[in-house]
Amino acid sequence: MRKAFYLAALAVALMSLSMFAQETMELDTALSFFDENSTIQIQYSDEGRLQLEGIIAALRGALGVTGDLDELDEFGVNAFYVAPENKDIVNKLSQCYYTLADAFLEGVEPNELNTYKKGKHWGLKSLRMDPGFAAIEGDAGSSPSRFIEAVGQETDIAALYWGAANWLREAQFNKLAAVAGKVPDQTEVMSLRCIALDDTYTSYGSYRALGAFWGGLPRLGILVHYSKNFNKSLGYFCKIVDEPGICAECTDCPDFGPFDPAADEYFENRLFFVEFYLMEKGGFWEEAKRILDGVLAEPIGDKYPLYNAIAHEKAAAFLDEVEKHL
């Protein structure tokens, strides 16, 4: 009974703190959580989540978003007026929604899916704020081929990256429907455009996304282009992991240049390699254990406090599964 009372009191306290954070955080304070590389500097904790919710509230407030706007409606968000000078705030809102869903809402339905949808809609909103993009695409969402053409000239890497990141996570909830709706066509070209603009963005994030994308697709047969493809997955991962022995098995892989040791500082690069290639393909259990042990042996550090802490937690869980196969 005492434990139940404590948990109830804690829940009320957290809710009150969340409401307080969302009501009081100023925009300048919210922006101060982003470092020079636009990495969100919060901890993987209840306090970090409350800060992130406060940042989202401050960004929404700066854009003039009220409860009347349904952020789950892509066309409603697209029609919502935002001054051109606030485009970066739109990008940061898309990033924050992704981060909230990915870091703190995994398995919490429908909040997780709905948060990715909101992030996707703001990412697409930012793209369509570019007059050049809007002119090529025409009516929003009317033609995947025209969307892809518009992406080809886009230079706002934050809009492209966070729009694609949220869209890909939303697609994971119904992969077959996503393939049928040509979501892979559109998100792949967005990720490739990011690589063309700055392949180091978010610690080589587009290589990480494309490696997971090709390794995580359903098996639909060799006659379907967007079907699980381990060779393509490995090609992207080999840019962000230092595994020359495994990468030597990759045939007809693009040459993305040498591995950058800085990629190891962001633990999710190695974690995704284990999750979406080594474990998904199977037969690499010893290698997976070695990599996971390496991640867990390294300190979280101050550069990526949120995502390296998450990677530690997931690496420990993956290690339990990997060791069952040894």
* Whole-number Å distance between alpha carbons of 320 and 292: 10
Residues 261-301: tens digit of each pLDDT: 999 999 999 999 999 999 999 999 999 999 999 999 999 99
Can you give the pLDDT at residue 302? Answer: 96
194 in Cβ contact with 160 (< 8 Å): yes
Domain-wise residue ranges, the chain? 1-198, 199-326
Can you give the pLDDT at residue 222? Answer: 63
* Whole-number Å distance between alpha carbons of 39 and 88: 14
Can you give the pLDDT at residue 4? Answer: 42
- By three-state DSSP, how is residue 40 classified? strand
Token output for 310: 């998450």
Contacts of 231 (CB under 8 A, 6+ apart): 250, 251, 252, 253
Local structure of residue 142 (DSSP, 8 states): S
Low-confidence ranges of the chain (pLDDT < 70): 1-23, 221-224
194 in Cβ contact with 161 (< 8 Å): yes
Local structure of residue 34 (DSSP, 8 states): B
Token output for 197: 């603009």
Closest CA to 79 of 127, 155, 140, 123: 140
CA angle 16, 20, 26 (to 5 degrees): 160
